[in-house]
Amino acid sequence: MAIVWVLVCLLFLATHSVSFEGRNPEVETLIKLKNGLIDPRGVLSNWDEDSVDPCSWAMITCSPDNHVTGLGAPSQGLSGILSGMIANLTNLRQVLLQNNNISGEIPAEIGALSNLQTLDLSSNQFSGHMPESLGLLNGLQYLRLNNNSFCGAIPLSLAKVPQLAFL
């Protein structure tokens, strides 16, 4: 009887460990981002949590080695919030979410996106202070945050971003 119990336990562990293997962390992150947004036009409808590869998804661009490098959904009527989970997309170079209705604060975690070159969150409903962590984006070249409802001053840390050419 003990041998049967051990075999049942091993079978249980094997099947549950297999179900977690192959889970793409970029897929998980994108699904969490999607869950924070309201998508009335269904432009993110092909974002499938059971997918292994998000590179065929609408509004996503990827590198040749299949890492997510771009999130571009301008003028799509999106609302809701931008989750700090975006920082888990460590290969992001471009975020284009302008002309939507996304609200709340820009997550401070966005400063962890060390490869980010373009960030356009203009013409949304972001509020609060611009995060100081934007100054950590050393590769940032293009930043548009106009037509939002920010309060306070532009972070001085942005003056230290060496490649920033458009603000």
User: Could you read off the pLDDT of 88-104 as tens digits, one per residue?
Assistant: 999 999 999 999 999 99
Q: What is the pTM of this model?
A: 0.84
User: Which range marks the domain in which residue 128 is found?
Assistant: 23-160
> Using an 8 Å Cβ cutoff, are 146 and 122 in contact?
yes
Dihedral sign for Cα 19, 22, 27, 29, please: positive
Paired with 126 in beta bridges are 104
Percent of the chain at pLDDT > 70 equals 86
In a domain, 15, yes or no: no
In a domain, 11, yes or no: no
Domain count, the chain: 1
In a domain, 33, yes or no: yes
In a domain, 108, yes or no: yes
The Cα 134–Cα 113 span in angstroms is 9
Tens digits of residue pLDDT in 18-57: 334 567 999 999 999 999 999 999 999 999 999 999 999 9
The Cα 29–Cα 40 span in angstroms is 21
In a domain, 122, yes or no: yes
In a domain, 16, yes or no: no
Q: Over 50: is that where the pLDDT of 160 sits?
A: yes
In a domain, 91, yes or no: yes
Q: Over 90: is that where the pLDDT of 8 sits?
A: no
**What's 135's domain CATH number?**
3.80.10.10
